[in-house]
Amino acid sequence: MQQTRRLLEIMARLRDPDTGCPWDRQQDFASLVPYTLEEAYEVADAIERGDFTDLRNELGDLLLQVAFHSRMAEEQGLFDFEAVAAAIADKLERRHPHVFAGVDFASDTERLRYWETSKLEEQSEQTGQPPGSILEGVATALPALMEAQKLQKRAARHGFDWDSPAEVLGKVREELDELEQAVASGDTAHVREEMGDLLFVLVNLARHLDVDAETALREGNRKFRRRFRFIEACVERAGKQLADCTLAELDAFWDEAKRAGH
C-alpha cells in the first residue's frame, strides 16, 4: 500500500494548481478517454505477446489513468480513489455469493444468470428506475466486435440463441446470400446493412466455437502484417517497387510467405 499512497501523492502534486504540471492540470475526464482506451489496449497487446515485463509497465500506465480520474473527481467533491476501490470490492463480494456468502449454484449457467440479474438490480438502484433491458450495461463505446459478442452472450443466457455451430453456419450462408443480393442491387445503404448483419452473425459463430472474435481478428491482423512484410522484402530483393508488380506476382510472394510459415 505504500506505493499506492506514493502514486496518489504524485498525482496530487501533478494536479496542484500552482506548482503542478501544466499538461496534467489542463486535463479533464473527456480529454483522458483516448489515453485510457490506449492503455487498456496496450495491456492486451503485452499479454498477447507474452511480455510480462511490459505487462507490468502497461498495468502501471493503466493504473495511472484510474488515479488520474479519481484525483479529478476528488477535486470536484465527487469521489476519491478509496471510494473507487471500495465500490469494486463491494461489487465483487456482492456478485460472488458462492465465495463470500455460502451460496451454492447448481451450474455455471445459474451463476452467470445471477451475475446478470445483480447487474440489473445495481443499475436500478443507481437510476431509481425498475430494471430495464438485459442488454443495458453493454457499453456502446466498445469496439464493435466486443460489443456484438457481449450483446449475444447476454441474450444467450436468457435463452435467445442457436443450439449448435451448424445452425449458425446456416445463418452465415443466409446473410452472405443477402449481402450478394444487396451488392447486385447497387444500394450502398443496403450493402452496409447486410455487411453489418454478416459481421454480427460471424461473431456469433465465433462465440459458438469458443473463439473470442476480437482476439481472432487481432491475430489475423498480425498474420497479415507478417506476410505483407515478407512480400515487401521479396519485392525489394527483386529490385522493384510494389506498384511495379502485378497482382499475380504479389500473390505468388504471398503463397511463398504461407509456405515459409509467416
For residue 76, the enclosing domain spans: 2-95
Does 47 share its domain with 22?
Answer: yes
Q: Is there a single domain that holds both residue 228 and residue 202?
A: no
Q: How far apart, in whole angstroms, are the C-alpha atoms of residue 111 and residue 254?
A: 47
CATH code (residue 170) = 1.10.287.1080
User: Has residue 78 been placed in a domain?
Assistant: yes
Residues 8-17: tens digit of each pLDDT: 999 999 999 9
**Within a domain: 180:** yes
Is residue 200, in this structure, part of any structural domain at all?
yes
The Cα–Cα gap between 262 and 251 comes to 14
- Per mean pLDDT, which range of 76-90, 101-115, 215-229 is the poorest? 101-115
Per-residue pLDDT at 197 exceeds 90: yes
Same structural domain for residues 15 and 89?
A: yes
Residue 21 CA from chain centroid, whole number = 31
At 238-254, the pLDDT tens digits run: 999 999 999 999 999 99
Q: How many CA atoms lie within 13 A of 28 on its CB side?
A: 2
23 assigned to some structural domain? yes
Within a domain: 132: no
Q: Does 119 map to a domain?
A: no
pTM greater than 0.75: no
Regarding whether 222 and 204 lie in a shared domain, the answer is: no
Residue 90 domain-assigned (yes or no): yes
Structural domain total, the chain: 3
